């Protein structure tokens, strides 16, 4: 489903991704954890060329792109394989919840409006927001806006959904509703890559977890193994700090 080989990215002299390799099988959920500045968000943004890597090969859903010698057409094809859920929702403020979900179906997929609205309503039902179909983003809570964003991502039936810290902009009491929505989608065998600071969620929903630091994958493995019995000292240090901060 997804294979990343020797992915490299730098900003000036700062090496942000230092030769990243990993695979995600069809229907799996991969969570990426690590301290701020470790390269997690840059990695997920490189997968659909929101950030352009200097080197590396990305393969998603049968589309293969070599960062050093790819065409704009190849990048467009790669982008069609995934849908992105951002930290700050990125909804159209002048469109209703339903219109936000159906926009890509009508514009990108050229789907008839009536058919798009039927599918849009089904997706809003999946995220528990069918009663908010006519609401504009400004009238929705942060958690509701993020759930609309997830429904919009599902609308295109992508090979994989990329979620970049989907709860980081939310008040604590709204986090659980979004995490429950993501968990429900994961149970439908949706392939997902999630950058998250929510360790319990990563343990609960993931098939595989990657720990990153300083632009490198330090350690990766099943969630119970990596989160409960990490092998690398850097991983142990990060988890100790995380648990200490949570107790405060």
Give the DSSP H/E element, type plus range, for residue 15: strand 14-24
Average pLDDT over residues 193-197: 95
Give the model's pLDDT for residue 117. 97
Q: How confident is the model at residue 245 (pLDDT cuts 50, 70, 90)?
A: confident
Cα 80 to Cα 1, 76, 149, 178: the distances in Å are 14, 6, 17, 24
Is 80 exceeded by the pLDDT of residue 164?
Answer: yes
* 8 Å CB contact between 151 and 160: no
Give the model's pLDDT for residue 136. 98
> Strands 29-33 and 192-195: what pairing?
parallel
pTM for the predicted model, two decimal places: 0.94
Q: How many helices (H) and strands (E) does the chain have?
A: 9, 10
Give 71-101 pLDDT, tens digit per residue.
Answer: 999 999 999 999 999 999 999 999 999 999 9
- The encoded tokens of residue 202 equal 């990563």
Q: 């350690």: which residue's tokens?
A: 219
Is 90 exceeded by the pLDDT of residue 35?
Answer: yes
Domain boundaries, the chain: 90-157
* 8 Å CB contact between 21 and 57: no
Check the CA dihedral 176-178-183-184 and report its sign. positive
Give the model's pLDDT for residue 169. 86
Mean pLDDT of the chain: 94
Give the model's pLDDT for residue 242. 84
Q: How confident is the model at residue 244 (pLDDT cuts 50, 70, 90)?
A: confident
Give 49-79 pLDDT, tens digit per residue.
Answer: 999 999 999 999 999 999 999 999 999 999 9
Is 70 exceeded by the pLDDT of residue 247?
Answer: no
């Amino acid at each position: 489903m997804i294979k990343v080989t020797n992915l490299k990215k730098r900003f000036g002299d700062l090496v942000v991704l230092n030769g990243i390799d990993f695979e995600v099988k069809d229907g799996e959920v991969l969570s990426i954890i690590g301290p701020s500045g470790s390269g997690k968000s840059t990695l997920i943004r490189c997968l659909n060329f929101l950030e352009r890597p200097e080197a590396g090969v990305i393969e998603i859903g049968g589309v293969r792109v070599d960062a050093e010698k790819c065409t704009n057409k190849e990048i467009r094809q790669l982008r069609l394989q995934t849908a992105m859920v951002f930290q700050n929702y990125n909804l159209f403020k002048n469109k209703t919840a339903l219109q936000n979900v159906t926009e890509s179906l009508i514009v990108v997929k050229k789907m008839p409006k009536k058919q798009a609205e039927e599918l849009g309503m089904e997706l809003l039902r999946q995220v528990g927001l069918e009663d908010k179909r006519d609401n504009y983003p400004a009238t929705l809570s942060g958690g509701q806006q993020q759930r609309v964003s997830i429904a919009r991502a599902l609308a295109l039936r992508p090979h994989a959904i990329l979620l970049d810290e989907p709860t980081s902009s939310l008040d604590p009491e709204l986090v659980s509703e979004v995490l429950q929505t993501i968990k429900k989608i994961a149970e439908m065998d949706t392939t997902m890559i999630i950058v998250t600071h929510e360790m319990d969620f990563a343990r609960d929903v993931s098939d595989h977890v990657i720990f990153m630091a300083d632009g490198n994958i330090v350690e990766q493995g099943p969630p119970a193994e990596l989160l409960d019995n990490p092998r690398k000292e850097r991983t142990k240090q990060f988890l100790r700090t995380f648990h200490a901060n949570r107790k405060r």
